Amino acid sequence: MIPQGLSAPLDAPTRALNREQWLTHIAVLLRPWFSSHGFEIPLRVRLGVGALGHNRRTLGVCYPQVDRAGFRHVTISPFIDDPILVAAVLAHELIHAGLPADVGHGPAFRAVARRVGFEGRLTEVSPGPALRAVIVEAVRRAGPYPHVAFA
């Protein structure tokens, strides 16, 4: 069964996960870090890997609209398969998912991103050392990323 939101308690997987389950597992594992830094990852988010056009520079998107069930959607690029990068992109997009749709990369986004540990230009994905350590541990716990990047 695929979790319907980000509240599913996922311990170490006992079977192979699909991409969406892996992303959800990572999001659940990131929740305590985000919470301890004053930001709650929303529960009503659907995560997937999919078409972002042919633009290889766009690593992820959080769509501003909600679906009829009230879920935001985050899509990770099919052109990346490094699990640390994928998890970092996911963390970035989860910030967007928890903020109003019109925030973009403005001051509210910057404040949260800095608080949870992103560095550098915030239109890119640059986790600082502490956030990177959390991401590395989440990836270790989630296991291999079940995706091979498009050529």
Q: What is the pLDDT of residue 8?
A: 47
Phi-psi label, residue 4: left if phi above 0, alpha if psi -120 to 50, beta otherwise: alpha
Sign of the alpha-carbon torsion through 146, 57, 105, 127:
positive
Going along the chain from its start, the domains and CATH numbers come out as 19-142 (3.30.2010)
Q: Read off the pLDDT of residues 62-82 as tens digits, 9 standing for 90 and up.
A: 999 999 999 999 999 999 999
Q: Read off the pLDDT of residues 42-51 as tens digits, 9 standing for 90 and up.
A: 999 999 999 8
- Pairwise CA distance, residues 105 & 124, whole Å: 10
Walk along the chain (151 residues) in steps of 10 and give the mean pLDDT of each run. Answer: 47 74 98 98 96 81 94 96 98 97 94 98 94 98 95 79
